[in-house]
Structure 1
Amino acid sequence: MASYSEIAETQKSLEKSVNKMLSKFEARMKSPASRATVSSLSEEFSSFKDHTLGMLKLLRSQISALSKTQDILEMRHRRKYLLFKGVPEDPGENIVSSITSIVTERLKIPDVSADSFKACHRLGKPSEGRARPILVRFADMRLKSLVWQKKTACKGSTFAISEFLTPHRQELFTQARKAFGMKSCWSLDGNIFVKLSSGVRERVEDIRRGMENQMVTVLILVDFSNAFNTVDHEILLALLEHLNVSPCALNWFSAYLCGRQQALQKSQATETGKVKDGICALLPA
């Protein structure tokens, strides 16, 4: 795991090497006696580019490792908390009393008092017509676990109980629910789980880590909605040429994409215009 000092040292090293190389290039360009050729400058620039990209890759990996460690430590602290949602909000409310009532009456857990909680408070700024969630820190982890086990007793009421996830894990949870549905996603001790169509239960973080380690991944969900409709034809052709696509294939793409028109009919009038971007609309039905 990279430490903050290691990341700072990488950043300083990168800045030093970049500034040194830029100064070298600038001096050679300004020197009247310079005999630098395009070829030599190209080789130096290529070496400089590879070095810079390598340093940036190292910096990104160090920041990623530090971010993961920070997320783990933060989630370890958040395991002591639960979020109570849908609890009516009143100006003179007694939040501890409200939570105690839900735990004892709704969840049927006895021997719970104000001393069972170390902290209870609303999250966020007040908003009209919407009750803010209540963040509860339990004095005893056993009570917290019992409340979490019995959270399904809140079904049919306005209340809901969820884990206090870190922003990163909350984003994973939100995306997983969008992809797999609410009933196929859940969290436990800060970990996000999904139930695949095959019935297999998988931890979301395991899928992500497997992709990073270039392991075989069963399912990847990516939303490319309307992405191809933004492709500029001239840029696409230039990119294909840069990738050394054969002249024959390049001419075929050019003939297919260039000179296209689209028509829009309004009542008795018809308007035409050139199609400069988009691929989906040009594909044959």
Structure 2
Amino acid sequence: MSTLDDIQSAQKNLEECFLKKMEQLEAQIQCAGPAKDTVAKIRDEFRSFRELIFGMLGLLRKQITECSRVVDGLETRTRRKALIFTGFAEAEKEDCRALVLDTVRNKLALPDITASSIKQCHRWTYFGKIYEC
């Protein structure tokens, strides 16, 4: 199971099976016959239930791994070509692109950088601090 859809489908199947087993076990307990037969049936149902739970735990483990992989991939893609500049004083109605372009040209000595080289430029906050990029 490599895709999230496959994992969700398997989880739904396991949930349905889990509910069915629980209903069967509850029905057996409510209409218990002789004690010896009831204990044996409950033991067998418990084993089946335990296997089901271990299957669900394995599925959840796979889901967490898949979600972690997807989130990591998304975070990696967003960081690939991002530069974060800090220390700029915030001014009202400022032009972030012009501010960053001026800094890159003058402070970093990269005069060939143009406004079209900057795909996106904006202020953003992270943990209450303002950062520029």
The bucket for the TM-score relative to the shorter chain is 0.7 to 0.9
One-letter identity of the residue aligned with 1:96 = R
Distance in 1 separating the partners of 2:34 and 2:65: 43
Shift of 1:37: 3.6
Distance in 1 separating the partners of 2:42 and 2:32: 16
Question: C-alpha deviations, 1:190-227, integer Å up to 9, x for none?
Answer: xxxxxxxxxxxxxxxxxxxxxxxxxxxxxxxxxxxxxx
Comparing 61-70 and 114-123, the one that deviates more: 61-70
Shift of 1:25: 0.7
Consecutive unaligned residues of structure 1, counting only runs of 5 or more, are 136-285
One-letter identity of the residue aligned with 2:8 = A
Moved over 4 A (4+): none
Shift of 1:73: 4.2
Change (3 A) 1:110 1:94: same
Tell me if structure 1 keeps the 8 A contact 2:123–2:131: yes
Distance in 2 separating the partners of 1:103 and 1:15: 56
One-letter identity of the residue aligned with 2:58 = K
**What's the counterpart of residue 21 of structure 1?**
21
**What's the counterpart of residue 83 of structure 1?**
84
Higher relative contact order (CA 8 A, sep 6+): 2
One-letter identity of the residue aligned with 1:53 = F
**What's the counterpart of residue 12 of structure 1?**
12
Shift of 1:64: 1.1
Larger helix proportion of the pair: 2
**What's the counterpart of residue 98 of structure 2?**
97
TM-score, length-scaled by structure 2? 0.81
Tell me if structure 1 keeps the 8 A contact 2:18–2:52: no
Distance in 2 separating the partners of 1:114 and 1:106: 16
Larger strand proportion of the pair: 1
Shift of 1:77: 4.1
Shift of 1:24: 0.4
Distance in 1 separating the partners of 2:99 and 2:81: 19
Match of 2:100, SS? helix
Distance in 2 separating the partners of 1:73 and 1:94: 28
Tell me if structure 2 keeps the 8 A contact 1:95–1:121: yes
- Once the two structures are aligned, what percentage of the paired residues are identical? 35
Distance in 1 separating the partners of 2:32 and 2:69: 51
**What's the counterpart of residue 120 of structure 2?**
119
Distance in 2 separating the partners of 1:32 and 1:74: 55
Shift of 1:87: 1.7
Change (3 A) 1:2 1:59: farther
Tell me if structure 2 keeps the 8 A contact 1:104–1:110: yes
Alignment coverage as a number of residue pairs? 131
